[in-house]
Amino acid sequence: MDFSKRVKWPQAKVSRVEQGKRSVTLSELLALSRAFGCSVHELFRELEPGSAASREHLAEQPTLSPGFYAASENEGVMVAQLARYGVHFLGSGSRPALVALAVDETVLAALRFTHDPRVFEALPALLLKHAADVDWTKLGSAAYCLGLQNRLGMVLAVMLKLKDSVKDVDARVWATVQNLHDSLAEKKLDREEVVGIRPKSDAALNFLRGRTPDWLRFWHGLAAADMDSFKRHLSR
């Protein structure tokens, strides 16, 4: 009750979070850190994970830069970071990036904006092109911390589907991607992720579910995924 009052959450919400039935959003984490007078990183470090699986995956809490939090909260800032890595969208303008984010933090920020299918389509090629610069351990552990493991798993699944279409990628990179994909699958969230705008009617949702391939449905993802759209980013 004291915790509920301090963070201004209903007790039912606190119970669902404690039981692992509800994830915590980034904005809620920021509110928690303000309530306890610490950074998000310090909050994670002080909390005792609730299960052996959590301790295994979150043994080392990743440190995320202030620039990451800015990009994850503002789509324009995120798009500017993607542009630094050669990802450009028509009509997105040429807003300069004020800080330079690492590729893994850029991908993590972009995962929060999968309501734009163009963002999701660009991420597999982005990771493949810059695989040597990715901190894969940080990428995976941060995805858990932020409740983005399903979305990252969707991106990794696309990468593995593109394996036959990509040249000059070290075998160790493919092994790393496969291992991270399988690790995320062990603790994927039981919630539906929609790439694009979520349909408002049950009929439209069922239609989209029928067009969703099995590899994406595995991650509780909904989208009419077109592999040619992902391949186009490989040649840019």
Strands (E), the chain: 193-194, 221-222
Instruction: Please report which helix (H) or strand (E) contains residue 14, including its range.
Output: helix 11-18
pLDDT at 3: 85
Query: What gap in Å lies between CA 209 and CA 194, rounded to an integer?
Result: 10
Q: What is the pLDDT of residues 158-176, one digit of tens each?
A: 999 999 998 889 999 999 9
- Whole-number Cα distances in Å, 96 to 23, 80, 85, 130, 180: 33, 6, 12, 20, 32
pLDDT at 46: 47
Query: What gap in Å lies between CA 194 and CA 205, rounded to an integer?
Result: 10
pLDDT at 93: 59
pLDDT at 97: 66
Who contacts 221 (Cβ-Cβ below 8 Å, separation ≥6)? 150, 151, 154, 192, 193, 194, 195, 212
Query: What gap in Å lies between CA 106 and CA 108, rounded to an integer?
Result: 5
Instruction: Please report which helix (H) or strand (E) contains residue 109, including its range.
Output: helix 103-110
Q: What is the pLDDT of residues 140-164, one digit of tens each?
A: 999 998 999 999 999 999 999 999 9
Determine what percent of the chain falls in helix, strand and coil, rounding each to the nearest 5: 60, 0, 35
pLDDT at 49: 41
Matching residue, tokens 């092109």? 129
pLDDT at 1: 84
Residues (pLDDT < 70) of the chain are 41-42, 44-61, 90-97
pLDDT at 54: 44
